[in-house]
Every structure is written in C-alpha cells, then in structure tokens.
Amino acid sequence: MTKRIDRRGFVASTLATAAAATVGTMSTLVPMHTAQAAGDQHDGMQPDAFPYAELSVAELQSRMAKGTLTSRTLTAAYLSRIAALDRSGPTLNSVIETNPDALTIAAERDAERRAGKVRGPLHGIPVLIKDNIDSADRMQTTAGSLALVGKPAPRDAFIVQRLRDAGAVLLGKTNLSEWANFRSTRSTSGWSGRGGQTRHPFVIDRNPCGSSSGTGTAISANLAAVGIGTETDGSIICPSSICGLVGIKPTVGLWSRSGIIPISSSQDTAGPMARTVSDAAALLGALTGVDARDRATAESAGKSVADYTTYLNAKALQGARIGVARNMAGFHPTTDAAFERAIESLREAGAVIVDPANVPTVGKYDEAELDVLLYEFKAGVNAYLAERGATVSVRTMDEVIAFNRANAGAEMPYFGQEQMERAQTMGSLDDAKYRDAVAACRRLSRDEGIDAIMAQHSLDAIVAPSNGPSWPTDLMNGDRYSGGNSSVAAVAGYPSVTVPMGFADALPLGVSFIGRAWSEGRLIGLAYSFEQATKARRAPRFLPTMPIAAPKRGS
C-alpha cells in the first residue's frame, strides 16, 4: 500500500485488454446467459465440472493413498484448467508461468509413493508460488518486472527448497502487483509489466487486490491445491479475503525470506493462501525452519512447529476471549453488517466477546512505517540484485529506475515509479531517521498497540473485518480501495489469519484474527472453529460484471 500508506497490500496491476473483451468464450465451462429471466443471477457459469474443485489437501492425499488418484493426473488436470480458465475462457491471467518440469516432478513423487516413501502432507500436491520467490529451475523470478527477465535464479529460496523437501510439486508462478506494489502511489493492483492484469475470480471486471493477486485468484479458482503469497502490509490478507480465501500472514521470522525479492526486512514475510484453514495450516508447518541466510528466523527456534494441523479444533472458540477492534471497522456498511454477523457467530460458538477492544495506536505509525519501508526497500533490492548477479541485467535500484524510463511504454503505460524514485533518495540503514522510525513502529504497534490491548483484556485474539468489497479495476485512476485491516499486525511483525465471513452481493468478505508474536497455532484453532461454524467459503462463478438488481415496483 502506498498513498497514506494506503491499506491495499502494496498492490498494483493493469488491465492490458479491456475486461469486456475477455469474457466471451469460456472454453470448458459453459457460460450462462448474463440476463437470465429466472434463476440465480449470481451464477455466471454452470456448476463446475472440474473433478478436484474445492478438494482439500487431506482429501487429495486420501485419494492418492488409496490409489484412485496420482500426483501426475492431478498436476495434468490443474495444468489443463490453467489453460482453460487462466489463458482463455474468463482469462483470469493469474499464472504468469507454468513449470515445464511439473509433470516430471509429479511422476517422481508417484514413484516414491509406490516405493513406500511419503514425505508428508504435501507429497505430490501441486503448489503455485508468487513470482517474487526464487526457484532454481527453468522458471523466471521477476516480481513482474521486465527489468528482471533474464536467466533463472541461481538457487532456490529457502521456502522453495522446503517445498521440494516436503514432496510438493512446484506447478508454476503467479502474477502480482509489480515490485509487490511499492513502485507507485497510484498503481492498479494485480498489474505487472511482465504479466499484465490479474482479474477477480468472482467478478471478472473487479480487482483481486494484491500484491499477491495472482495467488489469490488462482487458488480461489482451483488452479492449484494451495499457494504462497508474500506480504509487507496486506499483500496476503487483502487478496485472500477479497478472493474468498484463508490467508496466513505469519510472525516475521517464522518463514525465511532469503531468496524473495524484498521490500522490508522489518515486515516482509511469505505465507500460505488456501481455500480452507486446514490446507493453510498444512502448508505453514511444512515450510518453517531456521535459515542461516535470514537472521530473523533464529527467533523462531523453539517457537515454530512442523505441523500446525494439530491446532485444528472445531471447539477452539469455546471460552476464548475475543476482542472486537471497533476502531478498525466502520469503513463500509455492507462489511460492517457482515462483521456483526461474524461476531454473533463467534459468540454462538462459545467465545467470550470483549467489545470494544480497540487497538489504541491504529494509524499513529503510518508516517514512520513509510519511512522504514523506503529505507529498507532500497537496501533490500540492492542486496537482492547483487546476489542475482549476471542472471539479471540490472544490478541496483537506480538501474531498475533507468530501465523503466527507457522502456516506459511497456513498464509505465498507466502509472509511474515515484515510490521507487523516492526510495532511491534515502540514506543508509545507519541513519538516525531510519532507526528512530523503526523504534516508533515497534513501540506503537507492539508495546502500546497489540500487546497492550491483549494484556488489558486477557485476549486470545483481536478480530476486525479484513476488507471492504472489491472495486472495479481502473487502469487510468488506480485502485479505489474501500478499507481493510492489515497494518497493525504487519507493522508489528505479528501474525494475522483471514477467513471468509460472508459476501457483499457477489463479492467475498473476510474477518481477521490477529494475535501476538508466535501465536499462529492459537489463531489457526480459532479461525478453524469459526470456519466450521460458518462455512462462508463459496467457489467463484466468474461473473463478467456485477449484476444490477432491477428496482422494486413502487420504490
């Protein structure tokens, strides 16, 4: 997010071709008439015939264990679905590149299973990752920027190596808001120079938020079993909630950031994006571990677990003390109404509701946060590019800026790079201004923020609406973000879990469970209990646009 730092997850995108031009021919799913005289006008497509739609990781594993499904068959099915829905049909444009070795990897995992070797819950499971995460294979890692197109990364990101060790099938990479949406203050979420515009899976001409836009759309549309996004401030939470997913933004240091194109060493983290809490939990535990290349992971020793599915408890809300952050709501009436219903669901599930439990420092850290991000973006990008060496043609942020100017027609047709240019003017991380800003962020978001309110009321979690309804994608004017709640957990480096809570007409809404550092297990239990009580997730139907109800007679 930019603007005041505006709360849209550092997201950017561009509709390279008009949305209306993309919804005409749905190749494998039959479109329903958009002006139905009867029936559900929210059904843009007939019921999904994809045989693995909405199946969980556990269900897929069960089928593979029984021999009724192979990883290669599943991988081929997802690749076909990507061709049918992402490349054509509704043209979701969420997958920037598929892995040419995916079927080979899947066949290898099948051979291991036949030999009695199953590495864990991700064995043979196809996973999509965001295109700012290094993979030492035949795929690019570019953050959506044409400036970084070149040779593949020389080594896997730590979490990619963990994925491979867990037996997952790296299916491909997802589009994103270019440079994780820290290039411009007036960007459009989900657009990158390399990948074009990602579209919303529920309503095609709406925005999927970002910056993990491609992962949000792809996983919601059942283009893979689970996916990985990255967040600095909202880039997992916003696209997950807006696309009807579960998203986990972990404590900074629970997952390594080495080999991930950075914005902020203080706030960056990767995390799971999935259709269910159980799937997100399975992915979260598989990728933890201390990494010598990321000092923040040292703090996770003794605090992380290898299997977060042990926290899945449908009764976890019974007796739990849940604080309602009223000062983090009130930005959209439909969202507020859904939030009230969510609070009532929490109460009915046995939670003790503390209302209000306002985080007292919300918004007071905005200016300091932006300073921190500008300083760390410059330092982090320069360090990352130095590591990439000859695999990319640019070696510094200054060279990226020059590349964008020289290739403005492709890289800056809709918005500029003023955020990147401002970062380039910043000094070193030894500057007193930077150190003071870091200290202010930690004090306001942690000591006087989340920790203070949770201690005051003995809370297990704080809840707030994750997002307002998605907005129409608008390349010329940028995002019209209606509100959300990622910042306090992001600035603190604390965990947040978003879960579907309802809809604003055809558009998904989520609720966030926010906690103290290293409380992922507790939050997962609470989120799972809420999910099981409400069952708010629905699969998308790829509506061309929002249906407009006819006015009632006499109104």
Here the tokens at position 91 are 């043209």
- DSSP category for residue 500: E
Residue reference for tokens 């469970």: 513
- C-alpha 119: how far from chain center: 26
8 A C-beta contact, residue 495 and residue 236: no
Write the single-letter amino acid at 389. G
Strands (E) across 441-528 are located at 461-465, 496-504, 507-514
- Give phi and psi for 231, each to the nearest 5: -140, 140
Give the long-range contacts of residues 15-19, CB within 8 A, separation 24 or more: 15/188, 15/191, 15/196, 15/197, 15/199, 15/473, 15/475, 16/191, 16/196, 16/197, 17/196, 17/197, 19/199, 19/204, 19/205, 19/473, 19/544, 19/545
Closest of 438, 453, 279 to residue 356, by C-alpha = 453
Pairing between β-strand 269-274 and β-strand 226-231 as defined by DSSP bridges? antiparallel
Here the tokens at position 291 are 């990494």
Among the listed residues 235, 241, 265, 496, the single catalytic one is 235
Query: What is the DSSP secondary-structure string of 528-543?
Result: HHHHHHH--------B
Among the listed residues 145, 177, 211, 278, the single catalytic one is 211
C-alpha to C-alpha distance for 430 and 182, rounded to whole angstroms: 22
* CA within 13 Å, CB half, 317: 27
Catalytic site residue 211?
Answer: yes
Closest of 28, 470, 524 to residue 277, by C-alpha = 524
Among the listed residues 13, 71, 94, 130, the single catalytic one is 130
Query: What is the DSSP secondary-structure string of 195-260?
Result: TEE---SSBTTB---SSSHHHHHHHHTTSSSEEEEEESSSTTHHHHHHTT-EEEEPPTTSS--TTB
Give the contacts of 121 (CB within 8 A, at least 6 positions apart): 57, 58, 61, 166, 282, 286, 307, 309
Catalytic site residue 80?
Answer: no
C-alpha to C-alpha distance for 38 and 276, rounded to whole angstroms: 32
C-alpha to C-alpha distance for 110 and 69, rounded to whole angstroms: 10
At 130, which helix (H) or strand (E)? strand 126-130
**142-165 burial: b if 16+ Cβ within 10 Å, else e:** bbbbebbeeeebebbbbbbbbbbe
Pairing between β-strand 269-274 and β-strand 246-249 as defined by DSSP bridges? antiparallel
- Give phi and psi for 74, each to the nearest 5: -65, -45
C-alpha to C-alpha distance for 274 and 244, rounded to whole angstroms: 9
Closest of 178, 179, 161 to residue 170, by C-alpha = 161
C-alpha to C-alpha distance for 213 and 280, rounded to whole angstroms: 17
Catalytic site residue 256?
Answer: no
Enumerate the active-site residues: 130, 211, 235
